[in-house]
Amino acid sequence: MLIHKDMKMADVIHLNHHLLHVVNRFGIQLGFGEKTVESVCEQHEVSLAFFLEIVNTFHDSSYFPVDNMKEFKAGMLVEYLHRTHQYYMNFKIPEIEKHINDLCLDNSLEEEIKQLLSNFFQQYKFELTTHINKEEQRVYPYVLALENAIETGNNTDELIEKLKIFSIHDYEEDHDDVESKLFDLKNIIIKYIPTPKDSRILNVILHEIFELENDLNNHGHIEDQILVPIVEKMEKELTARIQKNVQE
């Protein structure tokens, strides 16, 4: 069952509580009362169509309406993707890190095992941070500059230079999937860590990693299948416009 505009926002969370942090990324917090999805979106000046597509792709992994989503503005997608990055770096990663640190305080576990888990996680954190920084510093500003050029009709020399040295195809080519690396981390926990004194900590860590993996999967899909084609279309339009200007 997909989420629709006339549902009460409270019922959306009752139906799937994992959607809460997705809803938060739109600047929407708890305390919905009896309001519908449509009225909450209106109140927060959030595009209802965009909200529904994002929430539904998260809610039902078989739902991914590429054609509908390619119609959205690049800036709107970038804003959502940026907030998702913030959620990973400011909440999810520190949360997992805190649980791993707690586990490392457990004297019943061997030092070697604690080191293995901790090093593996630190390496992962470094890779994720590098991945996100590249998108935040290079890719997203490029996307926004292109969108601005399309909207304003300005082809500055700076933009022409940007199009010469970078294309979204370069990004697509080396856009590695950061979620698959979490598989090894899960495997270490599932197969090799002996039961600590407080076994719940390991369960919590594992649960958090599964959630992060699922989130990253959705995020990567949006980048590859929605953002990339939208930007390719803008690149084509701008390149054609620049060539036309040169000929005139």
Binding site for Fe ion (CB under 5 A): 135, 223
Which residue's entry shows tokens 């930007």?
Answer: 231
Q: Give 160: exposed, middle or buried? Use CB within 10 Å, 0-12, 13-18, 19+.
A: middle
Smaller CB separation from Fe ion, 135 or 147: 135
Q: What is the DSSP letter of 227?
A: I
Q: Minimal distance in Å, beta carbon 232 to Fe ion?
A: 16
Q: Minimal distance in Å, beta carbon 102 to Fe ion?
A: 28
User: What SS3 class is residue 36?
Assistant: strand
- Determine the Cα–Cα distance for residues 12 and 66; give it in Å rounded to an integer: 23
The length of the chain is 248
Smaller CB separation from Fe ion, 215 or 223: 223
Q: Minimal distance in Å, beta carbon 217 to Fe ion?
A: 11
Q: What is the dihedral of CA 61, 66, 68, 71, to 10 degrees?
A: 130
Alpha carbon of residue 171 to chain centroid? 16
- Determine the Cα–Cα distance for residues 196 and 202; give it in Å rounded to an integer: 8
Smaller CB separation from Fe ion, 32 or 142: 142
Q: Minimal distance in Å, beta carbon 241 to Fe ion?
A: 28
Alpha carbon of residue 167 to chain centroid? 21
Q: Minimal distance in Å, beta carbon 216 to Fe ion?
A: 8
Alpha carbon of residue 232 to chain centroid? 20
- Determine the Cα–Cα distance for residues 65 and 230; give it in Å rounded to an integer: 14
Smaller CB separation from Fe ion, 53 or 223: 223
Alpha carbon of residue 84 to chain centroid? 4
Q: Minimal distance in Å, beta carbon 132 to Fe ion?
A: 6
How many other β-carbons are positioned within 10 Å of the β-carbon of residue 168?
21
Smaller CB separation from Fe ion, 53 or 135: 135
Q: Are 66 and 226 in contact (CB under 8 A)?
A: yes
Smaller CB separation from Fe ion, 123 or 137: 137
Smaller CB separation from Fe ion, 53 or 114: 53
